[in-house]
Amino acid sequence: MNKNRFLPGLLALSLCLPGTLMAASKPAEPSTTKANAAVLTQLDFNDQQAFDDARRGFIAAAPDEPLLNPDGSTAWNMAVYAFLAEQQAPATVNPSLWRQARLNSIHGLFAVTEGIYQVRGMDLANMTIVEGDSGLIIIDPLLTPTTARAALDLYLQHRPAKPVVAVIYTHNHVDHFAGVRGVVSDEDVSQGRVRIYAPEGFMEHAVSENVIAGNAMTRRAMYMYGTELPKGPQGHIDNGLGKALSRGALTLIPPTDIITANGRQQIDGVDIDFHLAQDSEAQAELMLYFPATRVLNTAEVTSQQLHNIYTLRGAEVRDASRWSRYIDEVLEEYGPRTDILIAQHHWPVWDQDAARAFLSTQRDLYKYIHDQSVRLMNHGYRPDQIAEQLRLPDSLAKQWITRDYYGTLRHNARAIYQKYLGWYDANPASLNPLPGQQAARKTLEYMGGIDQVIKRAEEDFARGEYRWVASIMSQAVFAEPSNTAARELNAAALEQLGYQAESGPWRNAYLSGAQELRNGTPPAQAGALATDLLQALETGMFFDLLGVRLNGPKASGKHIVLNWHFTDTNERYRTNLQNATLTWLPERQSDQADASISLSRATLNNILLQQSSFPQAIQAGEIRIQGNPQKLFELLGLMDNFTPDFALIEPLAE
């Protein structure tokens, strides 16, 4: 079984190797230089409040040297972003994104208030540390154990040593929990020394998000996060939400305490009001209020930017209206009692008036995008038209905390349309169009052939019409993937769009596409599996995964019925292959089964981890089969393997 197919995009990417420089990138064209210079006149770059806010409370920076994983690989290295020390943006970076990248480079240990500290800039997310009566409460232990351990060590170097007594996962995104074994152990939890808190639904979504489509999401996320890009002014500079992804092992210790309703709990002498925000930025999310210190932690429900209603790596569209309402709830409930607002990305908001203004702006940002997109949709406008004409009012647009550093107004507007009406724009011509490669060939034929198209596109490129050139040259590449002139012109246009992008993910995607056009698709990266996530995988989801791996054409005409019994969990399932479709039911056994299979869930985990195989487990007596064992192997032989190295910027090999 292919190892990567179980990993969500962010999980698998944390295991990839750093990007390397191959074919040289090109400098900014005059049109790009002009466009980026214009940004300086559109926004108030004299406003330095965010830099003051980001530096306030600074105690100590992390060591300059790279953080290394136990196997010697690099988990984190802020030194590679030293070029961001320059205040003025180079021509190859949008000045607004450069500003955000510089803010995200302010890193280290920071005091929020008495008893609350944050480690920022040592992973994509922040780690918040709250001092209790006898120990420490860790809020979100980052993405990997190496960065989590280093963050805790940095804190302990400057504060009295106390053990960790509690961990809080604010939500089910992996950059907020997968470093947990860097700060606590299974024994700590099993012996009752540490309790772990999480919102209702956390385990389900932490494990299942992106699993079914995990391979596709992994590949797409390589573009979104720019994992293969070199670091520098012509490559990766930031992700908007944070600097980058750490690399290393992915861990999960299941929560001991599930937050199912809003209300106050006391953890190690610290009163905390939990406020659920389900199906907002994440499917399972909670915010926290600390009444003793008047600190509100909004988790990732707010951030110093516009967030994603739809994420480019691929995921379900988020509910922007509900998202806005949760912000309104905490503004109403805690706004008058909040002196400091923190979150699990970016830097704090430092006084009551500023915090209330911040929450009001973030609340209205998501509701405006939702309501105005739906308004235009109801006038009959299509996704591309809505994205093109939707604008924030000046009262929102001119604020730094609404800018397109991570999500963008354009792709979020399309997301709202998708949520309500789906992919179909109601034009019958869209019902069954030609596939991309065929359509590209016909388009170029109508336009006089590829040589004529390239000639005209070169003229448009010289005029700075990069959006159109990227679009038409993409068709040229799909029509003739080996045409080097089309590939280079497509790459050049994407590159200039990347240089102009205010969004970190847009920049990463454009530049990743340009790099692959010039250098080809990188090989799939192998990495260790996230053992903890596999062990937490519901058994039924294993059969769902088999279903999406089933090669339908190969399975045509076959009928295989299997009974499964997992002896250690006493789970029973019936799987049925029929009509080239694999279905399953729990608590069912068939009298007509071709075979009945008995094994432990632990044995299945070893097989998923490639520490064993079905034949090896059978030979070792770990699997017992009654009936025809060949039917099991016949079913397994119908499965496809996935690797995250398929083409994105050009057609798939036929």
pLDDT over 70, % of the chain? 95
pLDDT at residue 22, rounded to an integer: 58
Is the alpha carbon torsion for 309, 542, 550, 11 positive or negative? positive
User: What's residue 166's pLDDT?
Assistant: 98
- Please spell the DSSP secondary structure of 211-276, one letter per residue: TTTHHHHHHHHHHHHTTTSPBSTTSB---SSSS----S-------SEEE-SSEEEEETTEEEEEEE
The pLDDT assigned to 16 comes to: 42
Domain that includes residue 272, residue range: 3-18+48-255+268-402
Q: What is the pLDDT of residue 332?
A: 98
User: Does residue 459 fall inside a structural domain?
Assistant: no
List, for residues 35-57, the tens digit of each pLDDT value: 999 999 999 999 999 999 999 99
Domain presence at residue 484: no
Tell me: the pLDDT tens digits for 163-198?
A: 999 999 999 999 999 999 999 999 999 999 999 999
* Residue 465 included in any domain: no
pLDDT digits (tens, 9 = 90+) for 192-210: 999 999 999 999 998 887 6
Whether 467 is in a domain gets the answer no
pLDDT of residue 500 exceeding 60, the answer is: yes
**Is residue 206 within a helix (H) or strand (E), and if so which, with residue range?**
helix 202-208
- Which among 386, 402, 418 is the end of a domain? 402
pLDDT of residue 8: 40
406, 303 Cβ separation under 8 angstroms: yes
Burial of 523 (C-beta count, 10 Å sphere; 0-12/13-18/19+) = exposed
CATH number of the domain residue 349 falls in? 3.60.15.30
- Is residue 576 included in any domain, yes or no? yes
Dig out the tokens for 279 from the structure: 């199906």
Q: Check which CATH number belongs to the domain holding 619 and give it.
A: 3.30.1050.10
- Number of domains composing the chain: 2
pTM metric for this prediction: 0.94
At residue 545, φ and ψ (nearest 5 deg) are: -65, -40
With 60 as the cut, is the pLDDT of residue 18 above it? Answer: no
Q: Average pLDDT in the 146-150 region?
A: 98
Q: Is the dihedral of CA 280, 281, 286, 290 positive or negative?
A: negative
Instruction: Confirm whether 26 is domain-assigned.
Output: no
CA atoms of 171 and 348, how far apart (whole Å): 19
451 part of a folded domain:
no
